Structure 1
Amino acid sequence: MPFIPCCIECGSHANPCRCRIVGPTIGFVAFALAAVIEWPLGAVVWCFKHAKGRRIMGHPAAVVYPNVSSIFPI
């Protein structure tokens, strides 16, 4: 049986039940996919340009997850 991630965010004001499941779960999947690509690339770039490498490695957490998670109000 495959593992399916499920993320729950309680206390949100995006919907009447104040609980979100779809947005954070899809955001986590998008974060993981972006991290698989961007972290090794960022590590290689970091060897030559430290600031740029850190920015690349932080992109999934700083940009991808919040943007994808906020698209879905549920």
Structure 2
Amino acid sequence: MTGAPLCVQCGTRDNPCRCKFVGPTLGFLAFVVTAIVEWPVGAVVYICNHSKGRRIMGHPLTTVYPKVANAIPI
């Protein structure tokens, strides 16, 4: 039986228990879904425009994951 990944981030000041697990886990899942779409698109764009392709492929890590993980304080 395989389950969904569980990501834990301890040492935060977002909540009284100083640990987050819902936000980072949902952030990881959003990262995976976004990466499945954006990495092939970025690879195709990279052929003609290297900097734009790199930015597209880095978008899930630099934008999607932090916004989703930080939006949920638990």
Q: Give the TM-score range, shorter chain.
A: over 0.9
Q: Does 1:45 align with 2:45?
A: yes
- Aligned match of 1:33: 33
Equivalent-residue separation in structure 2 for 1:4 and 1:65 (angstroms): 16
Q: CA deviation at 1:2?
A: 3.3
Unaligned runs of 5+ in 2: none
> Which SS does the other structure have where 2:26 is aligned?
helix
Q: CA deviation at 1:36?
A: 0.4
Equivalent-residue separation in structure 2 for 1:33 and 1:2 (angstroms): 18
Amino acid of the structure 1 residue aligned with 2:59: H
- Aligned match of 1:56: 56
- Aligned match of 1:71: 71
- Aligned match of 1:3: 3
Equivalent-residue separation in structure 2 for 1:21 and 1:51 (angstroms): 34
Amino acid of the structure 2 residue aligned with 1:59: H
* Runs of 4 or more above 3 Å deviation: none
Q: CA deviation at 1:67?
A: 0.3
Q: CA deviation at 1:27?
A: 0.2
**What TM-score, normalized by structure 1, do the two folds share?**
0.97
Q: CA deviation at 1:16?
A: 0.5
> Which SS does the other structure have where 1:47 is aligned?
helix
